[in-house]
Amino acid sequence: MGSPDLLTPARRGAPFLELENAVVVRAGVPILSIDSLRIAEGEHVALLGPNGSGKSTFVKLITREVFPLHRDRPPVRFKGRDRVTLAEVQRCLGIVSSTMQDQITVHLPAIDVVAGGLYGALGVPAHVEGEDEARERACAALELIGIAELATRDVLTLSTGQARRVLIARALVHDPEVLVFDEPCAGLDPEGMHHVRSSMRLLARRGTGIILVTHHPEDIVPEIDRLVLLKGGTVIADGPKRELLTDEVMSTLFEVPLRVRRTVADVSAPEAPAAEDEFAMAADAAMPAVPTAKLAASVAAPPAADSPEPAIAAPADPSASVVLTPPPAEIDDARGEDYFSLVSVY
């Protein structure tokens, strides 16, 4: 199993997952059909789509819970190989899912739940070799996520947010190359969302590949720069998130009128109090605490007469919405961090 070194960054750039003409059928009806999708090792990508778009089927496909239609060449390839065993897939992938949380119905200390990830079990099986080393690795994973104090706590007594973070530690205990976050913030309050997204950012920064599957743009942390849009079981768009997180694209994807709200945090500026407005609060809910962060002004002053940037007026009342596209002129995008959210237009 090796030493519990969970801080070794993964390589980036080599092919990790390749889907080519991958079709999953249920009751004779295609529920997922991907012509071509490639994700590199160490890449940070989000799959965004409404309910029923094929997101859950995609996760089941790459974890070998469902299989695509047979082709002469296997439609799903891992690390450039046509054929891999289930054990090999499980070694290179870690899965974080709220559905797994529902499966924990027995009283176990959090450290055993995490260590169970090394055995594909909910706890440490009886009479196995390397039990002490497994718990040592579990402690390292809990510490990395910042919840070492929960190691001896009964997982059934934890809050939903705490238990979700325990599952993140479980997913990374075997030091996988890629973590799949399947609707990681489902059922969480703002505090729980904050900590889960903070953990996602931490792992992305250490070099772990991230595949986020969600229908909430708020889950797309700044380290994720690529967006794949799923609708009706197919990929309808694939590209940089700034190009796809627009009013028009999101309204088309979710089939309701939507506005995309963008908030930029300037993390290179000296410490300063956050702006007290609805956009600052939205960013605070979506981002981890950064000691040197300064939330950039969300409502810009009218530009100079020769400025190409449109004016962004302050809302007349707190319930009004403002679209932060493009960002205020004084924001240096190279030094800022983007946070996105959707506002329904009624």
Q: Are strands 44-48 and 226-231 parallel, antiparallel or unpaired?
A: parallel
The predicted structure's pLDDT at residue 39: 97
Residue type, 20: E
Length of the chain in residues, anyone? 346
Q: Domain range holding 237?
A: 15-104+176-266+337-344
For the chain, give me the number of helices (H) and strands (E)?
10, 12
- Name all contacts of 74-83 with Cβ < 8 Å and 24+ positions apart: 75/19, 75/20, 75/21, 75/22, 75/23, 76/17, 76/18, 76/19, 76/22, 77/15, 77/17, 77/18, 77/19, 77/20, 78/16, 78/17, 79/14, 79/15, 79/16, 79/41, 80/14, 80/15, 80/18
* Residue 314, in any domain of the structure: no
The predicted structure's pLDDT at residue 130: 76
DSSP character string of 202-254: HHHHTT-EEEEEES-GGG--TT--EEEEEETTEEEEEEEHHHHSSHHHHHHHH
Question: 117 by DSSP, 3-state: which?
Answer: helix
The CATH number of the domain holding residue 237 is: 3.40.50.300
- CA-closest candidate to residue 212, choices 192, 193, 191, 197: 197
Which stretches in the chain have pLDDT values below 50? 1-11, 269-335
At 94, which helix (H) or strand (E)?
Answer: strand 93-97
* Residue 233, in any domain of the structure: yes
Question: 291 by DSSP, 3-state: which?
Answer: coil
The predicted structure's pLDDT at residue 327: 34
Residue type, 99: T
The predicted structure's pLDDT at residue 267: 58
* Residue 99, in any domain of the structure: yes
* Residue 71, in any domain of the structure: yes
The predicted structure's pLDDT at residue 332: 40
Interval 115-125: pLDDT, tens: 999 988 888 88
* Residue 164, in any domain of the structure: no
- CA-closest candidate to residue 241, choices 210, 272, 268: 210
Distance CA 18, CA 76 (A): 6
* Residue 244, in any domain of the structure: yes
The number of distinct structural domains making up the chain is 1
* Residue 262, in any domain of the structure: yes
* Residue 194, in any domain of the structure: yes
CB contact at 8 A, 38 and 15: yes
Distance CA 235, CA 255 (A): 16
- CA-closest candidate to residue 228, choices 41, 39, 40: 39
Alpha helices in the chain (DSSP H): 55-62, 86-92, 98-103, 110-115, 131-145, 160-172, 190-205, 241-244, 247-254, 278-286
Number of Cβ atoms within 10 Å of the Cβ of 189:
11
